[in-house]
Chains A and B, each alone.
Chain A
Amino acid sequence: QMQLQESGPGLVKPSETLSLTCTVSGYSISRAYSWGWIRQPPGKGLEWIGSFYRGGTTNYNPSLKSRVTISVDTSKNHFSLELSSVTAADTAVYYCAGDHNSAWYFYWGQGTLVTVSS
């Protein structure tokens, strides 16, 4: 059974880079087809940030593309998110997710709240 767990700082200063890691257990990260990051501002809806696909392709939300990098480390069985030049608008619960296809996500982490504040 695949399990995902986000980790990283809960507080980031404005203009700095938000960095999160999603550790996958119970499954080899190289076997699934798609891994992604989704966020949810407090009291609001879900927003896709980007996805990494088996084979090396990465796609990002156009509204965030200039600030986002998603990478995968198969040796550590984890994948990461970096979001640069953050502002208060980036305050959200960040979820990592995975699946065997590219179109939806069955497996989700529990989410981690990241607050952008000085």
Chain B
Amino acid sequence: EIVLTQSPGTLSLSPGERATLSCRASQSVSNNFLAWYQQKPGQAPRLVIYGASMRASGIPDRFSGSGSGTDFTLSISRLEPEDFAVYYCQQYGNSPPELTFGGGTKVQIK
């Protein structure tokens, strides 16, 4: 089983600042099967990035994903008020087939 470790646990930033979130896998993530989700209180997760770097439909271009192998990053270039939320990374492994989530990073207003 691949374990995903997200850091930091909490990120305190001001609107307009850049956010950089890290997701590290215990083993290499095959085929860049790595996704990022945004979750706000009382809401379902929302897919932000898939395939490590592809923005999901409706996601603004201030969101970007990068990385490969075991180290992945979600960047938000200029934080908008609606971006303050918890972000989870998730990987898909096909041997055996399973999904695992990281523990999450909370991006809060400073």
Question: Which A residues contact B (CB, under 8 angstroms)?
Answer: 36, 38, 45-48, 51, 57, 59, 61-62, 95, 102-106, 108-111
Contact = CB atoms under 8 A, between A and B. Distances in A.
B1 interface: yes
Contacts of B39: 46
A111 B44 contact: yes
A62 B3 CA distance: 13
Given A45-B104, A59-B98, A104 B35 contact: yes
Interface string B87-110: 010101010111111111000000
B44 A109 contact: yes
B63 to A, nearest CB: 15
Given A62-B1, A111-B44, A103 B35 contact: yes
Contacts of B16: none
Given A45-B88, A48-B98, A61-B98, A105 B47 contact: yes
Contacts of B92: 102-104
A56 B41 CA distance: 34
Interface residues of B, number: 28
B11 interface: no
A46 B45 contact: yes
Given A36-B99, A45-B103, A46-B45, A106 B90 contact: no
Nearest to A107: B47
Nearest to B35: A104
5 contacts: A46-B39, A46-B104, A103-B92, A104-B90, A104-B92
A39 to B, nearest CB: 11
Contacts of A95: 44-45
Given A102-B92, A104-B50, A111-B44, A48 B99 contact: yes
Contacts of B33: 103-104
